[in-house]
Amino acid sequence: MDKTLTHAEMLAIIEENGGRQENILNILLALQSASEEGYVDSGMIAVVADELGMSETKVFEIASFYSMIKTGMHARHVFEVCNSTPCYYTKSDEVTGWLESALGIKIGEVSADGMFSYCYTPCVGECDIGPVIKVKDTVYGNLTKKNVIELIRALRDGIRDQ
């Protein structure tokens, strides 16, 4: 979505994802995905807490515990570099080197234009095409320096919108 979520839209997302405390991860992930900013903000946390009968502190604790849920601003495109053993052996460390060189940032930093950052992630289940990176829900494998640079260019130019 390219707009701020309304209260009604948040309520609909909560309901569509079970509307109960045991569904909180799905709810938070769905809200994050629907958010233009790509993270769960304090307003969303307040609505979730109210709807699920939980304290805002508890909802924030849950949201901040899981790495896949973002609770603050981050880069528009986050490259998650798989660092599981199979990807390590297929040179995932080279992928981080290519990203560092191409983006001019170290792991965990955000590029000056706010478009990119990268981090490690545990296994994404695509060991047969390692090394891999994940951008939102899309996994890119059999990476070379050339196709990593091409992916960065495509995302920067809006050719791909992950």
Q: Is the pLDDT of residue 73 over 80?
A: no
- Yes or no: say if 131 and 87 are a contact pair by the CB < 8 Å rule: yes
What pairing do the DSSP bridges indicate for beta strands 116-121 and 77-82? parallel
What's the pLDDT score for residue 64?
87
- pTM metric for this prediction: 0.61
Instruction: Show Cβ contacts of residue 83 under 8 Å, excluding neighbours closer than 6 positions.
Output: 92, 120, 121, 122
pLDDT at residue number 162: 53
The answer, yes or no, to whether residue 87 has pLDDT greater than 90, is: no
Residue whose pair of structure tokens reads 């604790």 in the numeric block: 61
Taking the C-alpha atoms of residue 50 and residue 40, their distance in angstroms, rounded to an integer, is 15
pLDDT value of position 136: 86
Is the pLDDT score of 59 beyond 60? yes
Q: What is the mean pLDDT of residues 79-90?
A: 89
pLDDT the model gives residue 1:
36
Question: Exposure string (b/e) for 67-88, b if CB count within 10 Å is 16 or more?
Answer: eebbbeeebbbbbbbbbbebbe
What CATH number should be reported for the domain whose range is 77-156?
Answer: 3.40.30.10
Of residues 50 and 77, more confidence is placed in 50
The pLDDT of residue 137 is 85
Q: How confident is the model at residue 7 (pLDDT cuts 50, 70, 90)?
A: very high
Every domain of the chain and the residues it spans: 7-65, 77-156
Whether the per-residue pLDDT at 2 is higher than 70: the answer is no
Residues 6+ apart with CB under 8 A from 54: 21, 24, 48
Which residues contact residue 76 at a Cβ distance below 8 angstroms, ignoring those fewer than 6 apart? 38, 114, 115, 116
Which residue type, as a one-letter code, is found at position 146?
K
